């Protein structure tokens, strides 16, 4: 409401800036004339002459030149003042007034409403994720546990239980402290080392800090098969620009994984995006994160804007923004529209393997298994002869559970 009020005041100010000069009855506007300038030029010739910058003969000639202009200017100034004052250009004034009073507010509103987002309420990703899943009254429980731990600070198990709740509440710094204490009290093992590292990463906005990295290294040394440590060491490598190392670590993780491991899609997604310049969201392969898949990383249908997020080279940010602002029905329509355009494009030109991959994935995410299967079949037909591409189609089909 306040926003609209301010918009109104701003519009009024703009209209006023146009109307005010039109309303003023002044007949005279201060303005310079050439006469002064020519006088000054005459003075300057004198100065230049005394400084030796112009010969005396030339100075005289220059004086004549300037004087001639001076006289002409003075005469035209006199005739201008003798002439009747110019009449107001009535029709132009009316047009300007109309433009200011009608076209300006209307046009500005139309342009602004089509470009701006006046009713914009941002959705915090974390809030959407956490709020729904946490039972009511959790803050109270946390406060009780905190009070208990204050009196019994040596209860390592208590800290260990409290830490994930802190993470879910977004209290990352507290989570780091809790896990640090748990590690201190209960002694190091791969899981505790990794948990602390993860909390540090989350607290530093997804950056694997040197401290976190050394924790993961210790975890990995304790248990070479620790998934979390491997994932974060890969992320650390990626963040430090060692892409090959990240690729190696993550590929190894995937190849070692048993079928259907809950963290598998996350690592695969990280692998798929390894060349993205955008930062990888640091959603960890821990229990907390797997239970609440973040919208940014991987999402089964139902989280916001699913298809666009899972298809790597998806639509641009503004389309995503638009999609998220729409009502669910409209959003599905828009997403389906994009998918059908893609399908049409693939039907016309089937040589683009990435397009096929995107299409199959999109169908699968939208829950249209039949279409996904037929798209996979079409893709195989269109790409026949290129083993590498066929293999990629096969892999995706397997990953999405379309076959075998």
Partner 1 sequence: MIPELGHYALVLALALALIQSWSPAMGARKGDLALMKLADSTALAQFAFVAVAFAALTYCYVTSDFSVANVYENSHSQMPLIYKFTSVWGNHEGSMLLWVLILALFGALVAWFGVNLPATLKANVLAVQSWVASAFYLFILLTSNPFRRLAELPAEGRDLNPILQDFGLAVHPPMLYLGYVGFSMAFSFAVAALIEGHIDAAWARWVRPWTLLAWICLTLGIAMGSYWAYYELGWGGWWFWDPVENASLMPWLAGTALLHSAVVMEKRNSLKVWTILLAILTFSLSLIGTFLVRSGVLTSVHTFSNDPARGLFILVILMVFIGGSLALFAWRAPRLKQGGLFAPISRESALVFNNLFLATACATVFVGTLYPLLLEALTGDKISVGPPFFNLTFGPLFVPLLVAVPFGPLLAWKRGDLYGVAQRLLVACAVAMLGLATTFAFEGTKAVLAPFGIGLAFFVMAGAITDMVERIDLRSLSIETIGRRAAGLPRSAWGTTVAHFALGVTLLGIVCGTTWSSERIVALKPTQTVSLSGYDLSFDGMVTKEGSNYRETAAHFTVRTGGTVIGVMEPSKRVFPSRDGMSTTEAALLTRGVSQLYLSLGDSNADGSIALRLYYKPFVLLIWLGAVVMALGGALSLSDRRLRIGAPRPAARVMPQPAE
The footprint of partner 1 on residues 29-58 (CB under 8 A) is 29-34, 36-41, 43-44, 47-48, 51-55, 57-58
Q: Which is nearer to partner 1, 57 or 381 (CB)?
A: 57
User: Which helix (H) or strand (E) element contains residue 357?
Assistant: helix 353-365
From residue 301, give the alpha-carbon distance in Å to each of 37, 260, 305, 318, 350.
Answer: 76, 18, 8, 21, 27
Q: Which is nearer to partner 1, 208 or 227 (CB)?
A: 208
CB of 64 to partner 1, least distance (A): 10
Contacting partner 1 (CB under 8 A), which of 139, 144, 173, 240?
240
- Closest listed residue to residue 308, CA positions, set 336, 345, 284, 350: 336
User: What SS3 class is residue 278?
Assistant: coil
- Select from 5-13, 139-147, 252-260, 369-377 the region that touches partner 1 (CB under 8 A): 5-13
- Select from 132-140, 161-169, 234-242, 347-355 the region that touches partner 1 (CB under 8 A): 234-242
User: Which helix (H) or strand (E) element contains residue 156?
Assistant: helix 156-169
Q: Which is nearer to partner 1, 261 or 326 (CB)?
A: 326
- Select from 214-222, 247-255, 272-280, 392-400 the region that touches partner 1 (CB under 8 A): 272-280
Q: Extract the tokens encoding 253.
A: 């993780």
Tally the C-alpha atoms within 13 A of residue 287's C-alpha that lie toward its C-beta. 6
From residue 127, give the alpha-carbon distance in Å to each of 130, 268, 292.
Answer: 5, 26, 12
Task: Name 167's bridge partners.
Answer: none
Pattern of binders to partner 1 over 329-358, x per CB under 8 A? ------------------------------
E strands along 202-315, which residues? none
From residue 324, give the alpha-carbon distance in Å to each of 122, 130, 262, 295.
Answer: 10, 18, 27, 12
Binding of partner 1 by 111 (CB under 8 A) = yes
Contacting partner 1 (CB under 8 A), which of 3, 221, 291, 384?
3
| Contact residues for 302 (Cβ-Cβ < 8 A; gap 6+) | none
Binding of partner 1 by 321 (CB under 8 A) = yes
Q: Which is nearer to partner 1, 22 or 384 (CB)?
A: 22
303 phi/psi in degrees, rounded to 5: -75, 170
Give, as ranges, the residues between 70 and 89 that touch partner 1 (CB under 8 A): 73, 86-89
- Select from 160-168, 205-213, 373-381, 394-402 the region that touches partner 1 (CB under 8 A): 205-213
Give, as ranges, the residues between 291 and 320 that touch partner 1 (CB under 8 A): 295-296, 304, 317-318, 320
């Amino acid at each position: 409401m306040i926003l609209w009020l301010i918009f109104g005041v701003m519009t009024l100010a703009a209209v006023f800036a146009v109307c005010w000069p039109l309303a003023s009855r002044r007949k005279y506007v201060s303005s310079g004339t050439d006469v002064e300038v020519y006088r000054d030029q005459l003075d300057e010739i004198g100065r230049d002459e005394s400084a030796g910058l112009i010969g005396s003969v030339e100075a005289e000639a220059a004086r004549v030149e300037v004087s001639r202009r001076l006289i002409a200017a003075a005469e035209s100034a006199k005739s201008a003042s003798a002439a009747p004052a110019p009449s107001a250009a009535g029709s132009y004034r009316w047009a300007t007034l109309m433009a200011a009073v009608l076209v300006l507010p209307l046009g500005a509103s139309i342009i602004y409403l089509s470009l701006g987002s006046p009713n914009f309420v941002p959705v915090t990703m974390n809030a959407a994720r956490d709020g729904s899943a946490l039972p009511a009254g959790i803050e109270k429980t946390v406060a009780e546990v905190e009070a208990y731990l204050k009196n019994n600070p040596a209860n390592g198990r208590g800290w260990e239980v409290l830490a994930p709740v802190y993470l879910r509440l977004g209290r990352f710094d507290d989570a780091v402290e809790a896990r640090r204490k748990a590690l201190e009290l209960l002694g190091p093992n791969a899981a505790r080392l990794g948990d602390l590292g993860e909390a540090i990463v989350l607290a530093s906005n997804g950056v694997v800090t040197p401290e976190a990295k050394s924790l993961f290294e210790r975890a990995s040394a304790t248990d070479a098969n620790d998934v979390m440590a491997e994932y974060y060491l890969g992320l650390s490598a990626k963040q430090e620009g060692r892409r090959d190392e990240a690729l190696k670590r993550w590929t190894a993780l995937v190849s070692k994984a048993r079928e259907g491991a809950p963290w598998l899609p996350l690592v695969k997604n990280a692998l798929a995006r390894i060349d993205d310049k955008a930062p990888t969201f640091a959603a960890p392969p821990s229990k907390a994160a797997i239970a609440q898949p973040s919208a940014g990383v991987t999402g089964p249908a139902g989280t916001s804007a699913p298809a666009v997020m899972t298809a790597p080279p998806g639509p641009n940010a503004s389309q995503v923004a638009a999609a998220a602002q729409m009502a669910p029905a409209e959003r599905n329509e828009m997403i389906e529209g994009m998918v059908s355009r893609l399908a049409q494009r693939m039907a016309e030109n089937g040589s683009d393997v990435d397009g096929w991959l995107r299409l199959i994935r999109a169908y699968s995410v939208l829950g249209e298994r039949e279409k996904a299967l037929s798209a996979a079949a079409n893709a195989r037909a269109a790409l026949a002869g290129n083993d590498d591409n066929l293999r990629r189609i096969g892999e995706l089909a397997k990953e999405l559970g379309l076959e075998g």
